[in-house]
Amino acid sequence: MAMTSAQQTAWTAGTGGSATPSDLNLLILGCLFGFLFLFAAWSLLQAYQGVKNKTVRMDKLAETAIRLVVLILMSLFFYAH
């Protein structure tokens, strides 16, 4: 949905004219996916260490990987249009 001219003027005045709404959208999506990939890497590392120490079964590692892939794909589908 496009902004009206009054909204665009208010946005320009509020940001000092240097940032556009698409820049903010890109920043928020970048932070979201950066956090999501860091979380996925941390989760897989923790699950692998659990398998290595024999405190987590191997099937739970595969389940964790599948859940993370589904989470990332759903996030890409819903947010990165």
Overall average pLDDT of the 46-69 stretch = 96
Domain containing residue 42 = 5-79
**Cα–Cα distance measured from residue 55 to residue 35, given in angstroms and rounded to the nearest whole number:** 27
pLDDT over 90 (residue 66): yes
The pTM of this model reads 0.83
**Who contacts 1 (Cβ-Cβ below 8 Å, separation ≥6)?**
none
* Rounded alpha-carbon distances, angstroms, from residue 55 to 42, 46, 67: 17, 11, 20
Question: Helix 21-52 and helix 58-79: axis angle, to 10°?
Answer: 170
Overall average pLDDT of the 30-43 stretch = 97
**Cα–Cα distance measured from residue 57 to residue 35, given in angstroms and rounded to the nearest whole number:** 26
Q: What is the number of structural domains in the chain?
A: 1
